Amino acid sequence: MIQQVNLYTQELRPQKERLQATTALGILALGLVLVVAVAAVFGYQNAGMAKRVANLEHQNARLEQSVAELTEAVRARQPDQEVQAALARVTETLARRQRLLEKVESLVLSDEGRFSPQMAALARQIPEDVWLTGVILESEPGQVTIEGRTRSAAQVPLYLENLGEEPAFSGRTFDAFRLSRPEEGNWIDFHVSTERNEEGR
């Protein structure tokens, strides 16, 4: 005879515990608080990063403006090439005249300089844009030869007229007078002499 034993009794069955309403609400509230906290943290971080980005963009804009201002200032300070060329010409002219004056002064101060008054007169009366390239002063027969360059041919007669007012050249007349323009350059060469036969040189 077979006897069945029921082991699945009420005591051995798993118990289903029901959550109470307050416990469920507490868990739900805790979850919401966590979500809100995480969202607040991320929002704060995003706001901080946005503020840093805005500051960097502002600094960038200021740096770009400073670079533009410095570039403009450097460009404005660069000298014009024409001004530099004119300054170089003026400096060269002043240097030549200074050397001429030093030579004249050395002759004037020298006891042996027989032609010092004439050299001083030549340097004193030279007009603008006239450069002497050669001077010959001979005691016998008192011949004077002057060679030079000028940018204006009208300056040469003016120079000779001014020399005539100097005591050292009083009574002298320049008979030989020659002007020539070289193939290269924008100046005029001149040659004047107190004797007519110098014109053929």
The mean pLDDT of 79-93, rounded to a whole number, is 83
Does a structural domain hold residue 130? yes
Q: Is residue 12 part of a domain?
A: no
CATH number of domain containing 186 = 3.30.1360.100
Average pLDDT, the chain: 77
> Among the three residues 39, 64, 89, which one is the final residue of a domain in this structure?
64
- Give the mean model confidence (pLDDT) for residues 95-107: 75
Note whether 50 and 100 are same-domain residues.
Answer: no
pLDDT band for 54, please (50, 70, 90 cuts).
confident
Q: Is 99 domain-assigned?
A: yes
Domain that includes residue 182, residue range: 81-200
* Residue 89 falls inside a structural domain: yes
Q: Are 54 and 150 contained in the same domain?
A: no
- Whether 147 has a pLDDT exceeding 90, the answer reads yes
pLDDT band at 17 (very low <50, low <70, confident <90, very high): low
pLDDT surpassing 90 at residue 60: no
The DSSP annotation for 39-90 comes to HHHHHHHHHHHHHHHHHHHHHHHHHHHHHHHHHHHHHHHSPPHHHHHHHHHH
| One domain, residues 101 and 186 | yes
Q: Residue 53's pLDDT is what?
A: 79
Kindly state whether residues 106 and 186 are assigned to the same domain.
yes
Phi, psi of 150 (to 5 degrees): -150, 160
Residues 163, 85 share a domain: yes
- Has residue 151 got a pLDDT over 70? yes
CA distance 32 to 39: 10
Whether pLDDT at 110 is above 70:
no
d(CA 108, CA 190): 26
> What is the rounded average pLDDT of the residues 71-87?
79
If asked whether residues 91 and 45 sit together in one domain, one would say no
Q: Is 60 exceeded by the pLDDT of residue 153?
A: yes
Domain stop point among 36, 64, 92: 64
Q: What percent of the chain has pLDDT over 90?
A: 3
- The answer to whether residues 35 and 98 belong to one domain is no
Q: Which residue has the higher pLDDT, 49 or 179?
A: 179
In the numeric block, the tokens 């990063």 are attached to 49
Q: Are residues 103 and 184 in the same domain?
A: yes
- Give the residues across from 135 on adjacent strands: 146
How many structural domains does the chain have? 2
Q: Do 94 and 138 reside in the same domain of the chain?
A: yes
Of 7-11, 39-43, 62-66, the range with the lowest mean pLDDT is: 7-11
In the predicted model, what is the mean pLDDT of residues 125-148? 83
Same domain flag for 49 and 128: no
Domain contains 92: yes
Residues 31 and 107 in one domain: no
Please tell me whether residues 117 and 31 are part of one structural domain: no
